Amino acid sequence: MIKQNVIIAEGLSKIFGNFVAVDHISFEVAKGEIFGFLGANGAGKTTAMRMLCGLSTPSSGKATVAGFDLFKDTEQIKKSIGYMSQKFSLYEDLTIRENIQFYGGIYGLSKKQIQDKTAYLVDHLHLQNYQNSLVKSLPLGWKQKLAFSVAIVHDPAIVFLDEPTGGVDPVTRREFWELIYDASERGITVFVTTHYMDEAEYCNRVSIMVDGRIEALDTPNNLKKTYNSLSMDEVFLKLARKAARGE
């Protein structure tokens, strides 16, 4: 079986004035894969991700996302992806139900689909007692799980997660990754950035960015072999120390 690639990037770059934030990155992500996108702060991860989501126009290079050209079909791409940013981006002054309804609605789901999704998510995330509470009253870990579920409410081909577990306790992080595996099993490709190396081990493949370039890209096990390390932590330190850029 030939693996189908849902993200293909070739020489993608983003330049802000004199600053090359992302420097000719090329990679492919296969359908259903969990792709870890690692790098130190300021390495260019978020910029790269924002380009792939159509939030930022690349300065040069080529890319297709979910089969659509990044330059020509940005609006088509937006229908096929989900995105969860570093900033929490559900409406805190709306209830859980209202947030699901709103995002389902603007992704064009039917009333029936929204109802089903809401019922499923409330049940799945054990939010029965909170479905009519305002989102701001939820603990951070729950908010993040909800934000992820809302980001894939329209069953996109790919979901982009930008440091989704920042500041979340280990138990909730574990639960969060279970949600990611669920999504992956349903065929949703997961593109995730993280600073937690244990999370990097959960990924099918990992790329490590240093100073805007992709320095390494392989499965966690192969990376450990290549860099002669016992853990991903060691791999990351060996690579990231080479960085010339500060924060």
Binding site for another protein (CB under 8 A): 50, 53-57, 74-75, 78-79, 81-83, 85, 87-94, 98, 101-103, 105-108
For another protein, the closer of residues 20 and 237 by Cβ is 20
Name residue 225's beta-bridge partners.
none
For another protein, the closer of residues 84 and 180 by Cβ is 84
Smallest gap, in angstroms, from Cβ of residue 10 to another protein? 20
Smallest gap, in angstroms, from Cβ of residue 150 to another protein? 9
Helix, strand, coil percentages in the chain from 3-state DSSP, rounded to 5: 40, 25, 35
| Cβ-based neighbour number of residue 130 at 10 Å | 18
Smallest gap, in angstroms, from Cβ of residue 218 to another protein? 29
For another protein, the closer of residues 16 and 181 by Cβ is 16
How far, in Å, CA of 164 to CA of 181, rounded? 14
Helices then strands, counting H and E runs in the chain, come out as 9, 10
Q: What is the SS3 assignment for 132? A: coil
Smallest gap, in angstroms, from Cβ of residue 93 to another protein? 5
Q: Which residues of 24-43 are buried (b: 16+ CB within 10 A; e: fewer)?
A: ebebbbeebbbbbbbbbebb
Closest Cα to residue 180, out of 195, 201, 159?
159
How far, in Å, CA of 191 to CA of 200, rounded? 12
Smallest gap, in angstroms, from Cβ of residue 53 to another protein? 5
Question: Are 165 and 144 in contact, with CB atoms under 8 Å apart?
Answer: yes
For another protein, the closer of residues 93 and 185 by Cβ is 93
| Residues with Cβ within 8 Å of residue 168, at least 6 apart in sequence | 140, 141, 144, 176
What single DSSP character describes residue 57? -
For another protein, the closer of residues 75 and 185 by Cβ is 75
Q: What is the SS3 assignment for 26? A: strand
For another protein, the closer of residues 81 and 240 by Cβ is 81
For another protein, the closer of residues 107 and 227 by Cβ is 107
Smallest gap, in angstroms, from Cβ of residue 148 to another protein? 12
Smallest gap, in angstroms, from Cβ of residue 92 to another protein? 8
